[in-house]
Structure 1
Amino acid sequence: MRLFRSPNAWQNWFLNFQRSFLILLAPWLVSVLAQGAGRLYLLTTYAPPGTYAALPQDINRTLAVGLLFDMKVAAIAFSAPLLAALVLAARPAAHARWLRCLPGLGAVLATLFAASTVVSVYYFATFSRSIDLFVFGLMDDDTQAILTTLWHGYPVLRTLALLAALLGATFWLVRRWGAHVLRARLARRALAPSALRLALIIALTVLACRGSLGTFPLNKDDTGISSLRLLNDITPNGISAFFWALSERDNDKRFTPVTNAEGEALYQRFLGRPGHGLQPFMATTGANPEARARPPHVVLQIMESMGHHMNQFDRPGRDLLGALRPHWRQDWRFDRFLSEGNGTIDSLSRLLVRSPVLATSQSSAATATFASNAFAPFLARGYRVVFVTSGAATWRNLGRFATHLGAQEFADQLTLRQRYPEAQPGAWGVPDEYMFRYIADRLARADRDGEPLFVIALSTTHHPPFLVPEGGLRGGLDLIDIERLPYYANWTGLADAFDTLRYANDQLGRFLTGLKASAQGGRTIVAVTGDHNILGVDYARDSDAVLARAVPFYLYVPPGYRGQSTYDPSRPGSHKDILPTLYHLSLPDTPYFRSGCDLLAARPDPQWCFGFNNPRLLITRDGAYQHDRPGRIQPWAGPTGLALAPEQAASPAQAAEQARLGAYGPLLQWQINYQVQHQVALRADRP
């Protein structure tokens, strides 16, 4: 206590510190309440009817643990000004100036917490989950497009006004409360009681910053509260979820060293046999006389947000398919089919290089050589690879990445605007119709030149804020029955979403109609899938686990290239199976990287034929397995469709299959790390 010349100085220091602590309690409490209000809003808005009656203990625990998270992050934020008060309390003049700053500082901090709650609520409303890695789209995606989406999709001005009002109200409250604290006569106490009170304040602050009396501070593991995912998702506040995403972001772009022993163990689990390096992934297509004599053009069209679900609402009087209808009904289509990723770049990374590392195109491995390069088999057979998107080449570094992988041409919205001056850009790119026109023109030119093309294309129009391009149909769809469904209960722009879906489907259908009628139609294979299901839909029921991740896989295969193909629409699959299927249809006797199966094989390989959505869901002929429910299966509710029957205990054979398939995700992670780690060897083997 030598810092204080007398007991009176000590008492003055402690009284000053006490006053700062008491004043800061007001904005801290506002911060906690603001975060709790957001959680209550999400609970009352998005929880299925009857949730409290069915899961009262889970809801009470969600609110209690959520309150601890709110207290924790607020305590951490307010501990900085509290520490400053601890230092400045010994200097009366400095402390007086500090007290004048506290109302403004406290109000700003409380408003920032309220703003984080608004962001968290909007994020959940859009993606049906708490803040995660995708939030970094504000930095990694097209920022202008993101801001346009926010402006059209959310009440931005009202939100800003509300936050401004909260700032003013909190400032007024803290000033009033601070004046009351300063007027109050705090008792002077002897050294020992004062030291005990100081220790108590510090202990309470530290405890609040930990959020727990246990061995470990409150953390992400404490959000596993209920079988209802909604309750787990809304337990953390936006600040906690953001920092977890931030810590995962670096890991998401990081490739870690792996060992051969780890790979051998995973091969043993998944394939039931040992393997070394990447050899178990290597396969070769069979003989294909038709494709050898006249190599077909191949088009892989990835449609933005083309989920299985919304297209099922097409019916007489509600035309959602437009020109796509005859093709959708006549050609081959797999409906028990999953997107592998849950975002556009996630699915693209997996399709292009079989990488579960989300942003591979922006990572340290963006210039690596990949044995899993999707373009390599086509390039080896003399194909010209063309990547076309109605969006921007700069999005996620996609243009450079695709070019590095071997795409000889990359056409984006700038290319399309130069070629078609009437193409007016929207939030994410030019309308999809210009992308389809470009593909049709490019196929016609390649056919005249006798050059086989592999075209991979990415659409953008059916993306929030769901702006229908000029000339597209708007309104006129009877959506009353759809609006009543719990899936869309909290949507405000449902009509716009169905309008852009109708537009995208119709443009795809027009492209297919024109292609089939053209000279090159008889030698062009077209595959269509969605990058992911539309986001923000409330799939709360267990029976909708597959519906939530389902995208269609459509195939137009001219009769001359069908060969021995066996079409069975009940076969389950996912994105991993698209390229193997296309390789077998178009490339004779060609090596390729196999991490999926040929869905048109007479006898599909049972080891590779299943549907996979990272990280939670697997589907087989028997039904669906969820990652966090070992030994349990949800059988299909019928011979067709995506509905699932109630969960039940898996049979011994099903439990063994679930355990085997559980190694697939870790095996994918291992192989991409192995590839990045062994670049010298891969470059030596490069075709």
Structure 2
Amino acid sequence: MMNYFAAKLIEILKHTLVIVSIFFIVRLLFAVCFVPFTTFEAYAKSLPFAAFNALRFDLQVAAYVAILPFLVVLVCLFVRNRSVAGRLSRFISTYYVVLEIVLLILALVDIGFYSNFHSHINITFFDFFNENPLSLLQTIWEEYHVILYLSAVGLASFGIYILAQKIAKGTLSCENKQESLALNRKTIVLIVLFLVAEVVCLRGSVWRFPLQVEDSFVSSSKQINDLVPNAAYMLKKAVKEKKNAFVFRSIESLLSEYKFKSLQEAINVYTNSDTIRLQGDTLAALRTALFRTVPDTMTHKQPNVLIIYEESWSNYLMNLDSPRCDMLLGMRRHLKEDLLFRNFQSVGNGTIASIENIVSCVPFPRFFSSPYRFHCLPSSVALPFNESGYTTEFISGMDVAWENCAEALKHQQFTKVTGKFTLKEQHPEYEYNSIGVFDHHLFRSIQERLDQQTAKLQMMLCMTTTNHPPFEFPKDVQLKAVPDDYYNNVCFAEKNHEVLQKYITGFRYANKTLGDFLDKFKQSKAAENTIVIISGDHNVRSIIDYTQVNKRWERSVPLYIYLPPYLRKESHRSMTNRWGSHDDILATLAPFAFRNTKYMCLGNNLLKEGVTDSTYYSANVEQLLACPAYQAQAQRIVNARNLLRIMFFQQTFAKY
């Protein structure tokens, strides 16, 4: 006779199968409604991976649902009372019926949401509760076959109830016999095995990383990728995004923080004039102050533009280069030949912060996780390039589902968003680690794009990944070993030599792959008409001891600029001591690339002639650097800019 505890665990497993089946059936409905058969044919190789990851998402939800029933089984294990066991068994059956019906309804709601917004449930789902829900319910009643849908849900719910009753019958005989509550060795083993399986399913993985939203990306096809996650997971993701959503502030609190008496005063300080007046339309005045207009007066040929954000490309680690320890490797030649700015900082201090900053200029963190990512902002970096005749592409070896990059970048009007799976489809031989396709493969694909004859100029924004924990490098990478005593430098906060070695190897690999790419690039025809800008997305964060190192290096990343021959001036070399940050990249590119457009200008042109070097500054969110005599004035300008920018986006978002 089956033990009571074994019977209850089998009941939980059967309900797990029911939950997975519900998601499977709804997924089939989704495929019929939204995925053309030709898409399945084109991406047939991705379907097994899609099915596997879909099962991982479904099992994770089922595992969360199983937590309470499993705890109930454990209670019975200690109580061992037939009456208690009977009541708890009925609770488990009712619990599963309710949860399975809720999951079914949620999955169907998700399909309805997708049919309207071409996206699974996301943070905008909560707008339903903010924008007169009764009116929206009336619209749904009038425009959809509500009675038909409710009847179908009712029929399916009744089927779930009948199925739950049949599953529950399997344990009835055990509940009525006291000896079935006896604990034996087989029961203990079964409970332990179940607990292990529960933990694995909750984590969604037996590998290094748990199940993440990036695992919903299995191909370059949005429709195939959208088959993978389920409604419950996407609702959990939306709730998390809502919890972390940024909060708008009053003009009074902002004026107090940034030390201005009025918004007009801030406009005058930032623009260094009093010609822009607040006359009723505050948003128009803010736009005039923050945006620059570029006329169609360009006399030179427009170049292609490549912006590379190199993962954790540290400025300070360049200082540790020596004859005994080659830190620069292939980049040494190019740093000498071209323009290198060392008085430079990132604006944000994380990868997504730096990407969001250059893409949108939004001052609030986690813009890509906010509901506003579904709107094209007037500050999008893609707009002035598109209007100036470029195609715009974000390209990275990473899974572009990370931090909603693919979704947000498409809404910001990037022509293409290329990530790990697109690169693998184009080059099946590319190798990758747990973070993404190796950088040297990424640069090969970039060079291929630059070598193509295209009808339009190209702007590419690139994000590398290999110089990132857990520091998994290509097997065939060859770097000369660093002397052991190198790791004893007092500048290092990290004293574990094995950990340090990984960080240093990552930095050296980055310089090697960048150098190899630039070697090939300069030998190609693309070098005649392409600007290349390289900077770190942020400094290396954890291994440097800033009690031993000047604080100016704490947020510092280098800026490298390659200009094609026809755009170079001898005077440019004398400008590389100017202070700057990521905010200055677009302002520096604008005179070379933009025509007949507008763009949000938050920085200065680092290559502008006739400007005193001492009037430049470097603004990171944590610290402002400038010449000592200009520090106070620079702080005043940055305060004005930050105030105006926050007000601009608060008023812009209020319109959405």
Name the CA distance, whole Å, in 2 between partners of 1:597 and 1:144: 47
- Letter in structure 1 aligned against 2:527: G
Deviation, structure 1 residue 543: 6.0
Partner of 1:494: 500
Residues 1:148 and 2:208 aligned together: yes
Deviation at 1:389, TM superposition (A): 0.3
Q: Distance in 1 between matches of 2:264 and 2:208?
A: 48
From 648, 660, 670, the counterpart of 2:647:
670
**Map of 2:267 onto structure 1:** 267
The reply to whether residue 409 of structure 1 matches residue 469 of structure 2 is no
Render the CA deviation track for 1:560-604: whole Å, top value 9, x for unaligned. 123697341110000000011112122245422211111000034
Question: Are 2:290 and 1:284 aligned?
Answer: no
SS of residue paired to 1:454: strand
In structure 1, the residue matched to 2:521 is: 515
Partner of residue 330, structure 1: 337
Q: Does 1:472 align with 2:477?
A: yes
Q: Which amino acid aligns with 1:662?
A: N
Q: Secondary structure at the match of 2:429?
A: coil
**One-letter amino acid of the counterpart of residue 362, structure 2:** S
Equivalent in the alignment of 1:535: 541
Residue 387 of structure 1 pairs with residue 394 of structure 2: yes
The corresponding residue for 1:253 is 246
Which of the numbers 331, 341, 347 marks the counterpart of 1:340? 347
How much does 1:654 deviate? 4.8
Amino acid aligned to 1:667: L
Residue type at the aligned position of 1:495? Q
User: SS at the partner of 1:527?
Assistant: strand
**Amino acid corresponding to residue 148 of structure 1 in structure 2:** R
Matches within 5 A, 1:59-208: 148=208
Distance 1:621 1:535, change over 3 A: same
Alignment of 1:345-494 (within 5 A): 345-445=352-452, 448-473=453-478, 476-491=481-496, 492-494=498-500
Whole-angstrom distance in 2 between the partners of 1:311 and 1:536? 16
Partner of 2:148: none
**Residues 388 and 596, structure 2, Cα contact 8 Å, conserved in 1:** no
Distance of 1:144 and 1:325 partners within structure 2: 44
Give CA-to-partner distance per residue, 1:449-498, whole Å, 9 cap, x none: 34200011000000111122221136611252343324334344111111
**Separation in 2, partners of 1:605, 1:674:** 35
Judge which range, 377-386 or 664-673, deviates more: 664-673
The 3-state SS of whatever aligns with 2:286 is coil
Matched position secondary structure for 2:619: strand
Q: CA deviation at 1:501?
A: 1.5
Deviates more, 1:564-573 or 1:599-608: 599-608
Once the two structures are superposed, residues 223-250 of structure 1 have per-residue CA deviations (whole angstroms, 9 ceiling, x without a partner) of xxxxxxxxxxxxxxxxxxxxxxx99994
> In the alignment, is residue 619 of structure 1 matched against residue 596 of structure 2?
no
Distance change >3 Å, CA 517–CA 475, structure 1 → 2: closer
Using a 3 Å threshold, how does the CA distance of structure 1 residues 482 and 267 change in structure 2: closer, same or farther?
farther
Uncovered stretches (5+) of structure 2, i.e. residues with no partner: 1-202, 211-238, 256-261, 277-284
CA-to-aligned-CA distance 1:256-315 (integer Å, 9 cap, x gap): 576999643432454455542311112134776454xx3211000000000101122222
Between 470-479 and 373-382, report the one with greater CA deviation.
470-479
C-alpha separation between the residues in 2 aligned to 1:147 and 1:264? 56
Secondary structure (helix, strand or coil) at the match of 2:374 reads coil
Structure 2 CA distance for partners of 1:384 and 1:479, relative to 1, 3 Å: farther
**Correspondence for 1:239:** none
Change (3 A) 1:378 1:606: same
- Measured in 2, the distance between the counterparts of 1:538 and 1:278 equals 40
Question: Residue in 2 aligned with 1:302?
Answer: 309
1:602 is matched by which residue type in structure 2?
A: E
Aligned pair in 2 of structure 1 residues 522, 280: CA closer, same or farther (>3 Å)? same
8 Å CA contact 2:539–2:557 kept in 1: the answer is: yes
Residue segments in structure 1 that go unaligned for 5+ positions in a row: 1-142, 151-245, 623-650, 680-687
1: CA distance, partners of 2:244 / 2:251: 15
Q: What is the CA distance between 1:658 and its match in structure 2? A: 3.3
Alpha-carbon displacement from aligned partner over 1:322-373 (angstroms, at most 9, x marks no partner):
2222111110011100100010111111111111212111101101232211
Match of 1:414, SS? helix
Per-residue CA distance 1:621-648 (angstroms, 9 max, x = gap): 33xxxxxxxxxxxxxxxxxxxxxxxxxx
Which of residues 549, 570, 587 in structure 2 aligns to 1:580?
Answer: 587
Partner amino acid for 2:352? I
Task: Flag the 1:543–1:475 CA change in 2: closer, same or farther, 3 A.
Answer: closer
8 Å CA contact 2:302, 2:592 repeated in 1:
no
1:146 Cα shift? 13
- The letter for the 1-side match of 2:463 is L
2:607 to 600, 605, 609: 600
The percent identity for this pair of structures is 25
SS of the residue corresponding to residue 350 of structure 1 reads: helix
What amino acid is the match of 1:673? Q
What TM-score, normalized to structure 1?
0.55
**AA aligned opposite 1:264:** Q
Distance 1:427 1:336 in 2: 33
Corresponding letter in the other structure for 1:302: Y
* Residue identity opposite 2:246 in structure 1: K
Q: Separation in 1 of the partners of 2:345 and 2:403?
A: 23
Residues 396 and 309 (structure 1 numbering): CA distance in 2 closer, same or farther, change over 3 Å? same
Q: Distance in 2 between matches of 1:344 and 1:621?
A: 28
Aligned residues: 408
Residue number in structure 1 paired with 2:118: none
Query: Is the contact between residue 580 and residue 594 of structure 1 (CA under 8 Å) also seen in structure 2?
Result: yes
- How far apart are the structure 2 equivalents of 1:378 and 1:659? 31
Q: Is the 8 A contact 1:288 1:586 kept in 2?
A: no
1:255 CA drift (Å): 4.6
CA contact (8 A) 2:353 2:366 kept: yes
Q: Are the structure 2 counterparts of residues 144 and 334 from structure 1 closer, same or farther at C-alpha, using a change threshold of 3 Å? A: farther
Q: Distance in 2 between matches of 1:654 and 1:388?
A: 37
Shift in CA distance, 369/417, structure 1 to aligned 2, threshold 3 Å: closer
| Aligned-partner Cα distance in 2 for 1:481–1:249 | 46
- In structure 2, the CA distance between the partners of 1:317 and 1:607, relative to structure 1 (3 Å rule), is closer
CA distance in 2, matches of 1:397, 1:454: 21
3-state DSSP of counterpart to 1:449 = coil
Paired with 1:352 and 1:608, the residues of 2 have a C-alpha distance of 26
Does the 8 A contact of 2:491 with 2:549 survive in 1? no
Partner of 2:130: none
Q: Aligned-pair distance for 1:440?
A: 0.6
Change (3 A) 1:272 1:586: closer
SS of aligned partner of 2:599: strand
Distance change (3 Å), C-alpha of 1:146 and 1:332: farther
- 2:566 aligned counterpart, secondary structure: helix
Deviations 1:201-229 (CA, angstroms, capped at 9, x unpaired): xxxxxxxxxxxxxxxxxxxxxxxxxxxxx
Aligned CA distance change for structure 1 residues 612 and 345 (closer, same or farther; 3 Å): same
